[in-house]
Structure 1
Amino acid sequence: MIEIVSERIGNKIYEWNDKKHVSPAVMKFALISLFTNSLSIVLALLIGIMIGRTGEVALSLLAIATMRFLTGGYHFKKSLNCVIVSVGVSTIIPFIHINEITKVVLSIIAVILVVIYAPSRLRGVSRVSEQGLQIRKWIAVTLVIVNLFLSYEILTLAFFAQSLSLITKKSG
């Protein structure tokens, strides 16, 4: 559905644009990304408001988005699947409670996954240089390690969940 709407809007923009700077395919891709991210954020925050956990859901969204930006990760073939999983994970995380040992274990696993697999699925689709991708990877590792000492439950779970999306058959 998101893909169809994006394609139609992209084609209309292309028709109305005299300069034709951007192809309809590129426009469609950009609109899919915009609509998917916007819908995920709006739905998650609305659910956060309804369940009385807006701040926690927002923190979860921010942590996942930051780690995803830094490390990459799996992309669903259908945007709707991405919306469902993103909203689901970010709204469930505030309800999961873990003890200190579990925080440490999940953080260590997240660090290992980021070190092994990041950047995941960013090469060839990003304009960021290899050096830039490596810098992002180590910033992500640093964030997880800093949270290991801060021990924020939501950040631990969000970083861990995002690190799982990095797993692929080949390492970063």
Structure 2
Amino acid sequence: MIIEGISKRIAEGIKRQVPDHKSSVPVLSHAIAIILNVLFIVVFTLVISILTGNVKQAVLALMGFAILRQFSGGYHLKTGAGCIAFTTALFTLVSFVDLDTAGVHILNALSLLLVMVFAPSRIERQSRIPKKHYVKLRMISSVIVMFNFGLQSPTLAVIFLVQAISLLRWKGGQAHVMDPQD
């Protein structure tokens, strides 16, 4: 509720300064909360990575996750503060991972399989992209993951798998594939 409270106060301030602005306070507040979440995640991850000496891997994790998530969607945590804490910890931990070539291939293959089956996921209320284009998003997501078969980055292999797992929708203990035509 901390991020949500800050974003609401900023949105109310904007609305006071520009009362005729076409966006409502809740719309402005939501947009500001997204910006604050991203800003805090990036800043905290970079500060920690500077202290641990893993800046290159942390930046790669931040960029790889963000790019794949843009096209594939995924699960969102309930609160901004929870998202910031979990994601910062995740990117920090991933920056320490080191895998051999076989490990990278296995994680890439698992990520590709999950993305091909489950992407895009949970974008219905967050995007204006018509459902008829969801197949294209799935294809783009797959190409992004396949890129790492050539690059062979352990950091990307792990972060792509984490993002791919966030695509799963669980119903009754089993993963549920959402039909893009629903």
Cα deviations by residue, 1:31-53 (Å, 9 ceiling, x for unpaired): 11000000000110111111111
> Which consecutive unaligned segments of at least 5 residues does structure 2 have?
171-175
Between the aligned partners of 2:87 and 2:53, the Cα distance in structure 1 is 19
Q: Does the Cα contact within 8 Å between 2:119 and 2:141 map onto a contact in 1?
A: no
Q: Match for 1:23: what amino acid?
A: S
Q: Does 1:45 align with 2:52?
A: no
Between the aligned partners of 1:75 and 1:146, the Cα distance in structure 2 is 25
Structure-1-length-normalised TM-score: 0.94
Structure-2-length-normalised TM-score: 0.89
> Which consecutive unaligned segments of at least 5 residues does structure 1 have?
none
Q: Which residue of structure 1 lines up, in the alignment, with residue 81 of structure 2?
A: 80
Q: Which residue of structure 2 lines up, in the alignment, with residue 93 of structure 1?
A: 94
Q: Does the Cα contact within 8 Å between 2:72 and 2:120 map onto a contact in 1?
A: yes
Q: Which contiguous aligned blocks of 4+ residues in structure 1 show a shift greater than 3 angstroms? A: none
Q: Give the C-alpha shift of residue 149 in structure 1.
A: 2.9
1:98 aligns to what SS in structure 2?
coil
- Relative to structure 2, which stretch is displaced further, 141-150 or 81-90? 141-150
Q: Which residue of structure 2 lines up, in the alignment, with residue 157 of structure 1?
A: 158
Q: Give the C-alpha shift of residue 15 in structure 1.
A: 2.0
Report the number of matched residues.
172
Between the aligned partners of 1:3 and 1:18, the Cα distance in structure 2 is 21
Cα deviations by residue, 1:122-155 (Å, 9 ceiling, x for unpaired): 0132112224433222111012122123311111
Matches of residues 16-165 of structure 1 in structure 2 within 5 Å? 16-165=17-166
Identity %: 26
State the Cα RMSD in Å.
Answer: 1.3
Cα deviations by residue, 1:55-79 (Å, 9 ceiling, x for unpaired): 1111110001111111011111111
Between the aligned partners of 2:107 and 2:56, the Cα distance in structure 1 is 22
Between the aligned partners of 1:124 and 1:2, the Cα distance in structure 2 is 21
